[in-house]
Structure 1
Amino acid sequence: MLKKIKELLLINKTLPAKEQELRVLEEKLQDREKLIEDITLQVKESIEVEKEKILSDAKAEASSILEETQKEVAKRSKEKVAYEEQNAILEDELLNKRTELAKIVKSAKKYSNESQGIKNLIDRFPEAVNFDEIQKELEILEESLRDGVLDTIVSLDLHHKDSKLLRKEMSANNREIKKLLKTYQARYTTKANLTIYNLMVIGLQAELQNILYTLSYSNIEKAEESAKALINKYLTICGEGNASILSTITRFLTELEPLFLNAIKMEYKCYIQKEKEKEEQRRIKEQMRQEAEEKRILEQERKKIEKEEEKYLNEMAKNQELLEKETDEGKIAALQARLAELQGQVDKLEEQKEEIVKRANGRAGYVYVISNLGSFGENTFKVGMTRRLNPLDRIDELGDASVPFKFDVQAMVFSDNAVDLEQQLHQILDDNRVNKINLRKEFFYTTVQELQSIVEEIDPTVEFITTLKAVEYHQSQSIMKEKQEQLA
C-alpha cells in the first residue's frame, strides 16, 4: 500500500512537467501548421504571379505577331496594287509597241515597193531618171532609219531572237555585213552609181529577211539555194546594166554570199534546238508509255504468282491437316517432306513478288547491249534498259517485224539503278549516236571491243559476248549462196 502511494505521488510530481511538454508540442504543431499554410499561400501567390506573367507575355507576343502580320498584309496589298498598276502600264506599252511595229512594217513594205519601182524604172529608162532627186529621197529614207539604208529595211520576227547566244552570233554576223556594205559604199563616187548600190542593198536585205522568215526545219537546203540564187540574180542584173561597176559589184556579192549563208545557218540552229526539244518531249512520253507497259506486265506477273502461291498454300493447309491426324511414321515423313518442298516454292514466289514490287516502284532493272548484224552491220549497237523480270522478253519484242532478223545480246547488266546506268552509257557514247536528233533511237556507232571496255569498266563482273552470232542472218546468207551456186 505504501508503495502505491509513493508511485502516485511521483506521478503527481511529473504530471505538470508532462503537461508543459505537451503544451510546447501543441504550440510547435500550431506553428508548423501555420508555416505550412504560409508556404502554401506563398506558392499559390507565386503560381498566380507566374500565371499572370505567362499570360501577359503570351498576349504581348500574340499582339506583336498580329501587328507584324497586319503590316505584312498591308505591305503585300500595296505590292499587289503596284504590280497590277505596273502590269497595266506594261500592257499599254505592249499594245503601243505592237501598233508602232505594224506601222513600221507597213512603212517598210511601202519603201520596199517604191525602191523596186525605182529599180525597174532605172533598168527600163536610165536616161529618164533624175539621180540627184533620187539621192535626196534616199537621204530622207536614211534619216528615217536608225542605221541608214545599210540596215535591214524589214525586221521580221525571226526565231534566233528567242536565244541570247544566237542573238549575239547573228549580231556579229550582221556587223560583218554592215562593215562590208559600208566598205563598198565608199567606192562609188558618182551619185548615179551610189543610188544603184543603195537600192540594191535595200533589195538584198529585204529578200534575205524573207528567206530567213520562210526557213523551216526541213528546208535549209532550199533556203541556201535561194540565197545563192539571190546573189546570182543580182549579178545577172548588174551584168546587163552598168558595165563600169560590174567588177566591183561582182566582188561585193561574192563576199556577201557567205555572210548570207551564215545568217541562214544561225537561224536554222533555232529549228534544230526546237526539234531536239520536241524529240526530248517525245522521248519522255515514250519512256512513260514504256514504263506504264512494263508496270502492266509486272502486275500481270504478280497476279500470276499470287494465284500460283495460293495453290501452294491451299495444298500446304490440306497436308498440314492430314499431318495432324496421321499416326503412320512413313506417311508423316512423306507429308513433312512435301510441306518442306511446298514451303520452298512459296519462298521463291515471295522473292519474285518482292522483286516485282522493287521493279515497279524503283529504278531497278536490266541494261542491255544488243546487236543486229544482218540489219545494221557489225559496228552498230543498241543500248537500252528494261524493268522486265525476264529481260529477254523485251529483246524479243525489239526483234519483231520492224527488223528482218532477231537481236543478239552482247551484255545484260542488272542494276538497282538501271536508269542512271543507262544514262551513263548513253553519255559516254553520245558522240557516236546514229540519230543525233531523235534521242529515243538508242543506236550507236562503235566496235564490240570498245563497248566491252566501257561496260567492264563500269561492272567488271559482267559477262560480255564479243561474238556477233547473227544465226538467222548467216543461215539466210548460206541459203542464198547455195541457190546462186545451183543457178551457176
Structure 2
Amino acid sequence: MFKKIKELLNLNKTLQEKEAYLKKVEEKASDMEKIISETITEARASIQSESEKIIETAKKEAYEIKDTARNDLSDLISKKEKVEEETKEAEENLEKVNKELSKIKKTAAKFKNESVGINELIEKFPSAVDYTVIEQELEILEESLGDGVFNTIIELDLHHKNSKTLRKEMNANNKEIKKVLTSYESRYTTKANKTIYHLMVIGLQAELQNILYTLSYTNLEKALENAKSLTDKYLTVCGSGNANILPTITRFLSELGPLFKNAIEIEYSYYVQKEKEKEEQRRIKEQMRQEAEEQRILEQERKKIEKEEVKYLKEIGINKELLSKETDLDKIAALEARLKELVEQVEKIEEQKEEIVKRANGKAGYVYVISNLGSFGENMFKIGMTRRLNPLDRIDELGDASVPFKFDIHAMVFSDDAVGLEQKMHQTLNANRVNKINIRKEFFYSDIVNLENIIQDIDPTVEFTTTMKALEFRQSQSQSLKEKLQVIE
C-alpha cells in the first residue's frame, strides 16, 4: 500500500516537473515570438529608412542632372545666338568686301585703259615725256635713302639683336659688307652695269636676310649651303648676261661669301647659347629627378632596415625574458651568446641608418668610371655619381635595354662630397667631352691610363681596373666567328 502511495507521489512529482518544463518551453516560445516580431519590426524600419535614403539620393541626382541639362541647354542657346550674330556679321562684311572688290575692278579697268593710252602716247610721241624731271626725282630719292642701295630696306627681327655681344659682332660684319659693296661700285662706269650691280646688291641683301630669318639650331649646314648657292646663282646670272664683268663679279662674290658665312654663324651663336641654356635646364631637371629617385630608394632602404630592427629588438626582448626565467647554465650561456649576436646586428642596423641619413641630407656617394667596349669602343668612358647604398644598382640600370652590352666598372670612389668630386673630374676632362652641347651626357674620350692617373691623384687607395672585360661583347664576337666558320665548312 505504501509502495503504491510512494509511486503515486513520484508520478505526481514527475507530472509537476513536466508541467514546469512545458511552462518554461512556452515562455521561451513566447520570448522567441517577441524577438522575431521585434526583429521584423527593426528590419522593416531599416528597410524603410534605406528606401527613403535611396529615394532621396535619386531625387537629388535627378535634380542635379536636370539642372546640368538646363545649364547645358542655356549654353547651347547662347552659343547658337552668338554663331548667328557672327554669321550675320560675316555676311555683312562679305557684302562690303564684294562691293569694294567691284570698285577695285572698275578702277583697275580704268587704269588699264589709261596705261595703254599713255604707252601709245610715249611710243608715238617720245618727246612728250621729260626724262630730265625723272632723273632729278631719282636723285632726290637716292639722297633720301641715306646709304643708298647699300642700306637694307627691311630689317627682320633677328635673334642676334637680343644679345649685346652678338649685335656688336653683326654690326662690325655689316660694316665689312658695306665696305666691299662700296669698293666695287666704282668699278662699273656705264649706267647699265652700275644698275645691274645695284639690283644685284639689293637681291643679295634680301636673300641674306631671308637665310638669317629661317635659320634654326638644326639647319646651320643648310643655311651655309644656301648662302653658297646664292653667290653661285648670282655669278651664273651675271656671267651669262655680260661676260665682260665676269672677272669683277667673281672677285666681288668671293669676298662677299665669307662675310655672309660669318653673318650666318653670328646669328647661329644665339641658337647655340639658347640650346646650352635649355640643356642646362634639362640637366638640372634630370639631376633633380635622379636625386628624387635616390631619395626614394634611400627611404625604402630606411623602412626596410627599420623593419629588420623591429624584428631584432623583439627577438632581444624574448631572449631577455627567457634568460630571466632560465636556471640551466648551458641554456643561459646559449641565450647570452644569442643576445650578443642580436645586439651586434642592431648596432650594424644603427650604422646603416646613420649612413642613410648622411646620404639623404648630404653630398656623400660614389663617383664611378665605367666603359662599354661593345657599345662605344675602347676610348670612351662614362663618369657619373650616385648616392645609392649599393652603387652597383645604378650601374645595372645604365646597362639596361638602352645599350646592347653591360658596362665594365673601372673605379668606384666613395666621397663625402661626391657631387664636387664628379664636377672636378668632368672639368679635368672637359676638353674631351663627347657631347659638348648636352653636358648631361657624361661621356668622355680618354685612354685608360690617363683615367687611372686622375683617380690615383684623387685617392691612391682606390682600386682601379684597367682591363676591359666586356664579357658579353667578347662572347658575342666569339659566337659570330663560330657561325662564320660553320658557314665556310
Q: What is the TM-score of this pair, normalised by structure 1? A: 0.71
Equivalent-residue separation in structure 2 for 1:250 and 1:484 (angstroms) = 58
Q: Report the counterpart of residue 419 of structure 1 in structure 2.
A: 419
Equivalent-residue separation in structure 2 for 1:465 and 1:476 (angstroms) = 22
- 3-state SS of 1:384 partner: strand
**1:477 CA displacement:** 1.2
**1:132 CA displacement:** 7.8
**1:130 CA displacement:** 11
Q: Deviations over 1:117-161 (max 9, x none)?
A: xxxxxxxxxxx9999888756644443344332122221111111
- Farther off after superposition, 141-150 or 372-381: 141-150
AA of the residue aligned to 1:320: K
Change (3 A) 1:352 1:462: same
AA of the residue aligned to 1:240: S
Change (3 A) 1:249 1:219: same
Equivalent-residue separation in structure 2 for 1:430 and 1:176 (angstroms) = 35
Q: Report the counterpart of residue 445 of structure 1 in structure 2.
A: 445
Whether the 8 Å contact between 1:135 and 1:195 is mirrored in structure 2 is no
- 3-state SS of 1:413 partner: strand
Q: Report the counterpart of residue 207 of structure 2 in structure 1.
A: 207
| Matched ranges for 1:114-193 at <5 A | 139-193=139-193
Moved over 6 A (4+): 128-135
- Farther off after superposition, 207-216 or 454-463: 454-463
2:221 counterpart of 1:221? yes
2:348 counterpart of 1:378? no
Q: Report the counterpart of residue 121 of structure 1 in structure 2.
A: none
Q: Report the counterpart of residue 311 of structure 2 in structure 1.
A: 311
- 3-state SS of 1:411 partner: strand
Equivalent-residue separation in structure 1 for 2:154 and 2:308 (angstroms) = 75
- 3-state SS of 1:187 partner: coil
Supply the RMSD in Å over aligned alpha carbons: 2.0
- 3-state SS of 1:294 partner: helix
Whether the 8 Å contact between 1:134 and 1:195 is mirrored in structure 2 is no
Equivalent-residue separation in structure 1 for 2:137 and 2:458 (angstroms) = 73
- Farther off after superposition, 163-172 or 201-210: 163-172
Whether the 8 Å contact between 1:131 and 1:191 is mirrored in structure 2 is no
2:465 counterpart of 1:465? yes
Q: Deviations over 1:342-383 (max 9, x none)?
A: 010011111111111111111111000000111111101000
Whether the 8 Å contact between 1:135 and 1:191 is mirrored in structure 2 is no
Q: Which runs of 5+ in 2 are unaligned?
A: 1-125
- 3-state SS of 1:400 partner: coil
Q: Report the counterpart of residue 455 of structure 1 in structure 2.
A: 455
Q: Deviations over 1:411-447 (max 9, x none)?
A: 0000111011111111111111111111111111110
Change (3 A) 1:293 1:132: farther
Q: Report the counterpart of residue 31 of structure 1 in structure 2.
A: none
- Farther off after superposition, 139-148 or 329-338: 139-148
| Matched ranges for 1:88-127 at <5 A | none
Q: Report the counterpart of residue 432 of structure 1 in structure 2.
A: 432
Equivalent-residue separation in structure 2 for 1:385 and 1:419 (angstroms) = 7
**What is the percentage of aligned positions where both structures have the same residue?**
74
Change (3 A) 1:359 1:139: farther
Equivalent-residue separation in structure 1 for 2:322 and 2:328 (angstroms) = 11
Equivalent-residue separation in structure 1 for 2:471 and 2:371 (angstroms) = 12
Equivalent-residue separation in structure 1 for 2:204 and 2:301 (angstroms) = 67
AA of the residue aligned to 2:240: E
- 3-state SS of 2:473 partner: helix
**1:254 CA displacement:** 1.6
Q: Deviations over 1:237-257 (max 9, x none)?
A: 212323332321221112111
AA of the residue aligned to 1:434: V
Equivalent-residue separation in structure 1 for 2:458 and 2:441 (angstroms) = 23
Change (3 A) 1:361 1:137: farther
- Farther off after superposition, 458-467 or 182-191: 182-191
Equivalent-residue separation in structure 2 for 1:131 and 1:224 (angstroms) = 44
AA of the residue aligned to 2:289: R
**1:272 CA displacement:** 1.1
State the number of aligned residues.
361
Equivalent-residue separation in structure 1 for 2:375 and 2:248 (angstroms) = 56
Whether the 8 Å contact between 1:369 and 1:412 is mirrored in structure 2 is yes
Whether the 8 Å contact between 1:155 and 1:209 is mirrored in structure 2 is yes
Change (3 A) 1:437 1:135: farther
Change (3 A) 1:353 1:201: same
AA of the residue aligned to 1:444: F
Q: Deviations over 1:213-243 (max 9, x none)?
A: 1101111111112111211221122123233
AA of the residue aligned to 1:452: E
**1:327 CA displacement:** 2.4
- 3-state SS of 2:241 partner: coil
Equivalent-residue separation in structure 2 for 1:130 and 1:181 (angstroms) = 32
Q: What is the TM-score of this pair, normalised by structure 2? A: 0.71
Q: Deviations over 1:378-422 (max 9, x none)?
A: 101000000100000000010001111100000000011101111
Q: Report the counterpart of residue 330 of structure 2 in structure 1.
A: 330
AA of the residue aligned to 1:437: I
- 3-state SS of 1:240 partner: helix
AA of the residue aligned to 2:422: E
Q: Report the counterpart of residue 76 of structure 1 in structure 2.
A: none
AA of the residue aligned to 2:368: Y
| Matched ranges for 1:244-259 at <5 A | 244-259=244-259
**1:164 CA displacement:** 2.0
Equivalent-residue separation in structure 2 for 1:235 and 1:358 (angstroms) = 70
Q: Deviations over 1:193-232 (max 9, x none)?
A: 2222222211111110111011011111111121112112
Equivalent-residue separation in structure 2 for 1:161 and 1:222 (angstroms) = 22
AA of the residue aligned to 2:336: Q
Whether the 8 Å contact between 1:132 and 1:191 is mirrored in structure 2 is no
Equivalent-residue separation in structure 1 for 2:146 and 2:364 (angstroms) = 62
2:294 counterpart of 1:284? no
2:270 counterpart of 1:296? no
Q: Report the counterpart of residue 269 of structure 2 in structure 1.
A: 269
- Farther off after superposition, 398-407 or 136-145: 136-145
Equivalent-residue separation in structure 2 for 1:348 and 1:435 (angstroms) = 43
AA of the residue aligned to 2:258: P
2:242 counterpart of 1:231? no
Q: Report the counterpart of residue 362 of structure 1 in structure 2.
A: 362
| Matched ranges for 1:382-397 at <5 A | 382-397=382-397
